[in-house]
Structure 1
């Protein structure tokens, strides 16, 4: 075999990553170099399925060059020379000695399909990890003009990767990820969220009739436990059609034990007595913040699952789909909050025997919520 001069033929071995997949890739490439006809038994992978540029270049060369005649291949290294020359165009560090090493380290060439399946599984894990990283980067990109839409698009892209992995690996029972989840990140400055949630609660107290229009907002969407509890008080009072004002809300909060954390009743009343703006607007702001936090938590969980090489592809699918379900649930509420408001049909009073039927005027509802922030 002809040899191209190289600076150091041992460079590839020196920088070889210690992960098991590296040795799996070596075994697969060795099998294909020794018995090129086994390429027909290999499915589910491409050059970009390999973890190193050198291995990707070699597989690309093997899969694109015409296979040699088996009898001629057993006598000379002509085909191997062509593979090395072609692969070296993409990975200059390749040497003839490394090609021979690949052939020598392959235990059984007939196991090539099994090796390929392992390479495919590891590639699936890397793809999922990359997609989760993209989602997290998008969430924290403060320059986005439409952050929610962009984040949801990245979540859809992540979901497409999960679906593709699921189609390649059949499900197995009891395959749940056992990866320990990372600790929650350090919370950012919540001063803006706290202020907006206070305005939300005060505005709802001043306009309890509007609470029904923001049924898509849940207590868990608020960042402060006291605020979440007060929102429960407000929705409960509105549902029971009881009087709503700062004092009645405070009393409800006491009945629920919300003041046990040391919150001063006077401070609660003062907070609830300072409304501003539109309840819909503050509700959407809180929901958007909750959506981004939910997507961040889901992305971190999926990233942790994909970063654990002990998880099988189907374990990754199960864990990722559970995490994406959280995003899907809050996406539905976001669509209810920001989508067009259906115009209500006129409700006609039933006719009476004493006189002609009477009707109530049709309720006119806005078709969009675009002007909420200015109300």
Structure 2
């Protein structure tokens, strides 16, 4: 039988010390073990609000085991024994010595409501972090049949968590998270995006009348600055009802300083001369990528806020709502872009055919007489 290695001092140093909320939970549980009636003063938390399985099981036991008579509780440990037995059903590692430790580390049992509020705040932070992580994970899930709809559903779930936290911790105006913005993620492979955007620009150049049908597409939706600038050129020419072709677009690009970045005029002309497909199709593809990118950045931003324990629930609510506003803006444009696909305009029913017959009204006789005299 192999001998299990013993931990040396270096190994012990590698074990992360408990977070402050762990000590807060101990103080709260110790207060409830000392004075069970304090449970009436505790609100806003459940067993799931605790950070460890042992604390979760113990709080559930305290909440469910009938409370003892105060005088009897002061004389013996019968109620504590029942709580321990109930807690062990969910966390077998609970011991009587740990309950004794909880009682010893509680500074003031009367402060139980304050401890509970701290536990609730930390639980809110963990919930927000989990919801943000789910959003980012969904954005990168390549197996989704309908990625936009699924990502928007996760964004709605994240917003619901934020609303729930706001109800528990009403935000204070002007209190923003102090957490710096997260660094950019690893640059994705934009090869497909670049090719599709080139097709969008070329097709719009060949069919400028179709540009008006994609008014929901904005330059920021395109991945490359050059492409964003060329789209501005196209929309400007179309809005002014001027001639649109590769040469006029190139000239407009020069007037806007797009060629200063080193773009070769010949390359731009070749790119704009190869249309394919439809403007609506390529525009929708670009908008989808933009929406998913916005969702990913929003999720990472909220992850950074929720991952910083220095942020209060008030700050988390304000910061998360501002981040979610970015998704709301692009969602509105996506709904405009796809409205004709999911909700096509109703087809006009043809008027019912009537059988020929002699006129039966005075107006009809008059109309017939008029035609006869012409």
Q: TM-score band (shorter)? A: 0.7 to 0.9
- Give the alignment of 1:119-268 within 5 angstroms: 119-268=119-268
The Cα offsets for residues 130-184 of structure 1, whole Å up to 9 and x where unpaired, read as 0001111111000001100000000000000000000001222331001012211
Structure 2 stretches lacking a partner, 5+ long: 1-13, 349-374
Q: Structure 2 vs 1, CA of residues 269 and 245 (structure 1 numbering), >3 Å: closer, same or farther?
A: same
Distance 2:16 2:220 in 1: 47
Other-structure match for 1:81: 81
Look at both structures and tell me which one has the larger radius of gyration over its CA atoms: 2
Question: How many angstroms does 1:291 deviate by?
Answer: 0.4
Counterparts of 1:328 and 1:17, CA distance in 2: 40
Cα pair distance change 1:327/1:145, threshold 3 Å: same
Q: CA deviation at 1:92?
A: 1.1
What is the alpha-carbon distance in structure 2 between the residues aligned to residue 271 and residue 198 of structure 1? 6
What is the Cα-based RMSD across aligned positions, in Å?
1.5
Deviations 1:173-218 (A, max 9, x none): 3310010122111111111000000000000000001100000000
Aligned to 1:312: 312
Q: Distance in 1 between matches of 2:86 and 2:16?
A: 21
Q: Please give the alpha-carbon distance, in whole angstroms, between the structure 2 residues aligned to 1:173 and 1:296.
A: 26
C-alpha contact 1:27 1:115 (8 A) present in aligned 2: yes
Alignment TM-score, normalising by the size of structure 1: 0.87
The alpha-carbon distance between structure 1 residues 28 and 15, as it changes in their structure 2 partners (threshold 3 A), is farther
| Equivalent position of 2:8 in the other structure | none
Q: Which runs of structure 2 are paired with 1:276-287 in the superposition (5 Å)?
A: 276-287=276-287
In 2, Cα distance between the equivalents of 1:59 and 1:21? 15
**Which residue of structure 2 lines up, in the alignment, with residue 109 of structure 1?**
109
Distance in 2, Cα, partners of 1:307 & 1:207: 49
Q: Distance in 1 between matches of 2:111 and 2:217?
A: 56
SS at match of 1:172: coil
Q: Quick one: structure 1 residues 224 and 80, their matched pair in 2 at CA, closer, same or farther if it must change by over 3 Å?
A: same
- Where 1:339 maps in the other structure, the secondary structure is helix
2:10 equivalent in structure 1: none
Q: How far 1:18 sits from its partner (Å)? A: 1.8
| Map of 2:118 onto structure 1 | 118
2:324 & 2:137 partners in 1: Cα distance?
Answer: 17
Give the number of aligned pairs: 332
Flag as ranges the 4+ runs of structure 1 deviating above 4 A.
Answer: 14-17, 341-345
User: Kindly tell me: are residues 60 and 177 of structure 1, through their superposed partners in 2, closer, same or farther at Cα, counting changes over 3 Å?
Assistant: same
Matches of 2:129 and 2:198 in 1, distance apart?
38
Which whole-Å CA distance do the structure 2 matches of 1:92 and 1:344 have between them? 67
Contact 1:16 1:22 (8 Å CA) reproduced: no
CA distance in 1, matches of 2:29, 2:241: 73
